[in-house]
Structure formats: structure tokens, C-alpha cells
Amino acid sequence: MPSKELSESQIKHVLQGISIPPQPQIMVDLQMEQVMPDPDIGRIAQLISKDVGLAGTILKIVNSPFFGLSNKITSVEQAVNLLSFNSVINIVNGLTIRSEMSDADIVALNRFWDSANDISMVSATIAKEIGYKNHDEAYLLGLFHNCGIPLMMKRFGVEEYSKTMTEAYSSNSERIIDIENEKYSTNHAVVGYYTAKAWNMPIHLCSAIAEHHNLKQLFHDKYSTDNEKKNLISILKLADYICSGSKVIGDQKVDFEWERYGESILEHVGLGAYDIEDMAARFNEMGISVNDALIE
């Protein structure tokens, strides 16, 4: 996250002509309901049901093996009643970000969007299993951490930017974003920060998005004291490794970022190699695409 608030002209310079999409109206309406002293479940279900595609997809997700429900849910109100309010909002966020941030070329990147959904669900599960109380925030970070990538693609071209990310993920640079900074004078983490901020995400999540590739500072700096950010990014990076994010985004079988910091991340969350393999096997059974090396 920037160390100080930038002026509007400075932000425009940082974003290099990248247009941040406005927050979808349904998210605005749901957030307004969220801050009410007693949120109305019926009102929430009504808002979601106005969009037939959104309502249908929420039911599809809720009835997926990931949630492991014994009975099929047939109405949006049932889904909202069964799940936590934050979980419902997070699902809506995940579905709306795709349509609000993309053009025809970006929509075609199904693998990217599927990976974001997988990482978010795996992040939430890991958070629960290690006793991290804000598993909804882990889910949200999983969804939004790479939200700057489609906007970078839209600005610089899908083919060109994809080549840049392949170069970045195959490089031995300290940070993946260094290659982007050299070429574009900005990077997907910075763009993601301003997008999340514009969409009224909690500021500590915006900060985690901005710094999710600054792992040396978090894990190898003796003076790193932001434990909350460290927790969230540790969960994200473990989920990203399990879901083989480096292969999806950077076309690389080897996750060099994980090789450099994985041991420190596992130490922080109190897990070992066997725990990861066990998680990967379970996620694989749920239909989530996982790192081949963890289930061989």
C-alpha cells in the first residue's frame, strides 16, 4: 500500500491510463444492507434474485461439493439463511467482478477466473483449519488479490501482458512485480489495490492485495510486525501454491516464489508438507484443480 495518500493526478500517473471500473450496484445495495443494525435476509435474497444469472449461479455454487450439503438448496433465500451473510456477499463479489471488469477478450480467460474462485475457496478452508477467525476475509483476498491482472491485460493487450507474466514468473527476480514495473511503471498489485479501494474493500485487505508479492519484507525482514497482514498473505500464498497459480498465471510448473518463501510461510501458519498434501487430496476430490506435484 502506498505510504501516503496520493493526489488524483498522482494516482492517474500510477495507473498509467488504466480505467478502474465502478463498483457494481448490487454490491453497493448489499453493503448498505450489511451496515444495518439488523440486516434483512429477505431483502438480501430479493436483491440477488433480481439478476436471474446471479441467483442461478449462487445456487449452483451452494450446491457444489465444496459446501458438502446433505440436501439440495432450491431458493436464494434458503442459501442466504444457511450461509453467513459475509459468505453470500463474497460469492456475489466473485461473480460480479468478472462481468464488471472485463471485455470479450478477458471473459475468454476462463482458466484465470476459475483459478480465482478455487483459490478463494481454498483460502477460506485453510483459514478455518488453522484457526484464523476471519475466514471470510481470506476468501475475499483470494478473489481479489489478482484483480489487477485483467485490467492490465485490457490496457496493454492480452498477448503482450501474458508474455510479461510468463517472463515474470520464470524470472529469478526478487519480486514477480519487478518485471511489470520495468515495462509499465506499474504492476497488477498496485492496480488491484486501487480497484479494491474503489470497491470499498476493507483497507487492510487493500493493503494485503498491494503487498502480496512483497514476501521478503514480510517473512525475511526482522522488523516486520504486521501479523494480521502476514496471516492473510500466508493463507493466500499457501492456497495459491495448492491451486498451482504460477502455472495458470505464469505458465510455470515451478513456483519460484514458493520455493523461496514456502518454508517461512508454513512455519508461520504451523503446517508441514504432509498437511499440504492431505489438503490437496481433499480439494482434488471436491473438483478443485490442484498442483499435480502434490497429488502424484
pLDDT tens-digit readout, 83-102 = 777 778 777 877 777 776 76
CA distance 89 to 171: 37
Percentage above 90 pLDDT, the chain: 41
Per-residue pLDDT at 10: 72
Query: Which residue would you say has higher pLDDT here, 89 or 140?
Result: 140
Is the pLDDT reported for residue 145 higher than 90?
A: yes
Q: Using 50, 70 and 90 to split pLDDT, how confident is the model at 188? A: very high
Task: Compute the mean pLDDT over every residue in the chain, rounded to the nearest whole number.
Answer: 86
Going by C-beta distance under 8 Å and a sequence separation of 6 or more, which residues neighbour residue 167?
179
Closest by CA position to 176, among listed 165, 191, 160, 162:
165
Q: Using 50, 70 and 90 to split pLDDT, how confident is the model at 5? A: low
Question: What confidence tens digit (pLDDT) does each residue in 37-51 have?
Answer: 888 888 888 988 888
Topology of the domain covering 101-294: Hypothetical protein af1432 (1.10.3210)
Going by C-beta distance under 8 Å and a sequence separation of 6 or more, which residues neighbour residue 119?
142, 143, 145, 236, 239, 240, 243, 245
Burial of residue 170 (CB within 10 Å: 0-12, 13-18, 19+) is: middle
Give 224's DSSP letter: -
Question: What confidence tens digit (pLDDT) does each residue in 281-292 have?
Answer: 999 988 888 999
Per-residue pLDDT at 224: 62
Question: Which region among 10-14, 202-206, 211-215, 268-272 has the lowest average model confidence (pLDDT)?
Answer: 10-14
For residues 33 and 40, is the Cβ–Cβ distance under 8 A?
yes
The x, y and z cell numbers of residue 68, run together, are 458438502
Query: Domain segments of the chain: what residues?
Result: 22-85, 101-294
Q: Using 50, 70 and 90 to split pLDDT, how confident is the model at 3? A: very low
CA distance 282 to 295: 10
Q: Using 50, 70 and 90 to split pLDDT, how confident is the model at 194? A: very high
Alpha-helical (H) ranges within the chain are 8-15, 25-34, 41-49, 52-62, 76-82, 85-100, 104-107, 110-129, 135-144, 148-156, 158-170, 177-184, 188-198, 203-210, 215, 227-242, 245-250, 256-269, 273-285
The x, y and z cell numbers of residue 141, run together, are 483476498
Question: What confidence tens digit (pLDDT) does each residue in 215-236 have?
Answer: 988 887 765 667 889 999 999 9
